[in-house]
Amino acid sequence: MDYLGLLPEEVWVQVASALKRGADRSAFAQSCRAFAEFEKLSREKVSVTSWAQASGPICLGTFSNKLTSYLSQFPCMQSLRLVGPNSDPEDVEKFAAGFGRYVLPHQVTRETLVSYEPAMAVTHYLGPAERVLSFGALSATIRTEQLYPPALYPLSIDDHILEGLMGACSRVKHLEVRYDDGISGEGLGCLAGVRGLRSLHLVECSAVKDYTPLKRLLQLESLCIQGLGPSTSTSLTDSAVEQIAANCTTLRTLELISHTSLTNAALIAIGQFCRNLSTFKLHPCRAGPIDSQGVAALASLTNLQTLQLTNLVNEIDPAFQPISQQCSGLTSLRITDCPRFSRWALRRLAFHCGKLTKLDVSRCKKLAMYEALVDLKLCTNLEDLTLDHCIIESQPELFKSLGENLGKLRRLFARGCTGMDEASLGYVLLGCRRLDTMVLTHCRLLQSLKWARLPDLASLKTLDLTNCRLNWDEPFSVALAKCTGLTDLSLAFCAQCIVSPDAFEALFVHYPGLKKLSLARNSGWVRDWTLESTFKLSPNLVELNIHGCYLVTDSGLQSLLSLRSLNSLIISECKAITEDGLVRFAKGNPALESLWCDGVAQGSLLDQKTVCRILRGCQRLKKLAVKSLKPTEFIWEKGKILRFSEVR
């Protein structure tokens, strides 16, 4: 990955002078337009292959120069992503106060600094001709490959900056703006000057009060507008949707997510003008007036292949009569959290839409799944089926019929499905021989797996049995032993299992290709011997999660050093692991890329010295989670804040 080297000293003098005078945002657009002046300068600079991010005060003058200089290297750049601050100011301020305790002061001189890019982080995005630019943090690379940031100061992208960027990046085809509070609706109008722009994603842009200027983007093919949810009074309106739909008739993908005020009028306009749509997703953030009248207008979209409707509380069943007949080319259908969606509508979709390969009807309370499963037999081309939190009576014969007809099924998701017991699941497996993914979390009727009469399930790659009330008996071991091709296995929250070392080894000897394993919250049987068996029987393990297994000690942790392929480890709340044991493990595993160790050492806070020793030991570490000052914890990714979360 290419990065700019040091700017000549005279340029830094000019930047320092600009800092003293105060940076003017209006000058930013002018400097972006003049990016050609920096082209020769940027092409002469050295390149490095590793980089780190830091956070600090934002200098618009420096930012302007460095950004335009960098963009001059990629005149054919086709993808641009702008990421603004994604946290409340109070959270940022609170976090910044405690962040300094976990960083190592480092003196960066002009001799050790290889690259310094204030307020901009650069990484690959989809290809060599496309880049991601993340705003709101400093980015730097030093020769020692160590960098420790002081604090976090977010930067918002405003209309002037966006205008300048679009002048410099005239060939951009995909633009994504996230979590920004500076760009207004009028600022979006400047995008009309980018003739090649085909895809636009606007995610939680709080300053946009009116999306009507988007109607000028006549060549747009993909548009995603995600609002801030019910917490804000501003949202996408029917009028804006009508004008966008009437002018942007070339749209093929349209996603309207987390808006509060859309009505049937918006859907009617979409059905009337956007006849080329192949993908449409609608997810209101709260109950609204949209009903079957608006949904029925989507039947005009005869090229529709993907339809997603979420959180529609009114009657919508009648709309699926015309949709199923006129949109027979549907291949992906997701109807979730729609309490009045019933079997009547699903039956028509199953009868007319024979090309369906993906179906998700999660949390549709009115859907009588016992009857609905009978109709699903008609969807013989289904490859993905999601029945999360559906109420199904335990009828093994029904699942037997389902398995016999869905022979192409490859992925089954049944999280919290009430009627999924071991007999029913056995019939599904008997018929669906191509299954490679099964997610059965919170299926409380699964207490054992009596699949003794089934052939080997070598095609099954992913099996998630999190929080199932499993008994580690002989039928269970025999059944799992048939899944010889597993690469991802989760037995998290199965604390009631009583597992002996011999039983554990007898099972995992069948999984030499296992790459991901989760044994979280199994404090009763996950101990040092469990980890010792793991590295012996699954030497190719890449990710391991033993969160909350408080009987694991330093000895068990050290046994993982033999797993040379391990790059992600979660040992959060493993209180028996000491700070010294953690540091020794870090020194012996320099290839580790992700380490979650919050709550170790009896839940105490790790001091600055311990964190620095971990960072020095794990030379390739990208993500580090440690317990910080209450009530927040942070995740560190080369100095970039990934998210905030409360510690309960």
Give the DSSP letter of residue 52.
E
Per-position b or e across 21-37, b if 16+ CB within 10 A of its CB = eebeeeebbebbebbee
Q: Which of 19-28, 205-214, 237-246, 356-365 has the highest mean pLDDT?
A: 237-246
For residues 375 and 85, the model is more confident at 375
Phi, psi for 360 (deg, rounded to 5): -135, 115
Half-sphere exposure (CA, 13 Å, Cβ side) for 572?
20
- Residue ranges in 22-158 assigned as alpha helix (H): 26-33, 39-43, 60-71, 89-99
Residue 198 has pLDDT above 70, yes or no: yes
Do the strands 411-413 and 437-439 form a parallel or antiparallel pair, or are they unpaired? parallel
pLDDT band per the 50, 70, 90 thresholds, residue 577: very high
Residue 460 has pLDDT above 70, yes or no: yes
Query: Which helix (H) or strand (E) element contains residue 596?
Result: strand 594-596
Phi, psi for 375 (deg, rounded to 5): -70, -30
Do the strands 199-203 and 174-178 form a parallel or antiparallel pair, or are they unpaired? parallel
Residue 141 has pLDDT above 60, yes or no: no
- Residue ranges in 333-384 assigned as alpha helix (H): 343-352, 369-376
- Residues with Cβ within 8 Å of residue 474, at least 6 apart in sequence: none
Residue 411 has pLDDT above 90, yes or no: yes
Q: How far apart are CA 363 and CA 260, in angstroms?
A: 21
Among 420-429, 486-495, 633-642, where is mean pLDDT lowest?
633-642
Query: Which helix (H) or strand (E) element contains residue 537?
Result: helix 528-537
* Mean pLDDT, the chain, whole residue set: 71
Per-position b or e across 327-339, b if 16+ CB within 10 A of its CB = beebbbbbbbbbe
Q: Where are the domains of the chain?
A: 9-142
Give the DSSP letter of residue 192.
G
pLDDT band per the 50, 70, 90 thresholds, residue 100: very low
For residues 423 and 518, the model is more confident at 518
| Among candidate residues 226, 221, 266, the one with its CA nearest the CA of residue 248 | 221
Q: How much of the chain, in percent, has pLDDT values that exceed 70?
A: 65
Average pLDDT on 370-395 reads 78
Q: What is the pLDDT of residues 147-168, one digit of tens each?
A: 223 223 334 566 776 776 676 6
pLDDT at 76: 55
pLDDT at 641: 37
pLDDT band per the 50, 70, 90 thresholds, residue 18: very low
pLDDT band per the 50, 70, 90 thresholds, residue 481: confident
pLDDT band per the 50, 70, 90 thresholds, residue 318: very high
For residues 208 and 622, the model is more confident at 208
Q: Please report, for residues 75, 568, 569, 599, the alpha-carbon distance to residue 565 in angstroms, rounded to integers and kept in the order given.
A: 39, 9, 11, 25
Residue 103 has pLDDT above 50, yes or no: no
* Other CB atoms within 10 Å distance of the CB of residue 65: 25
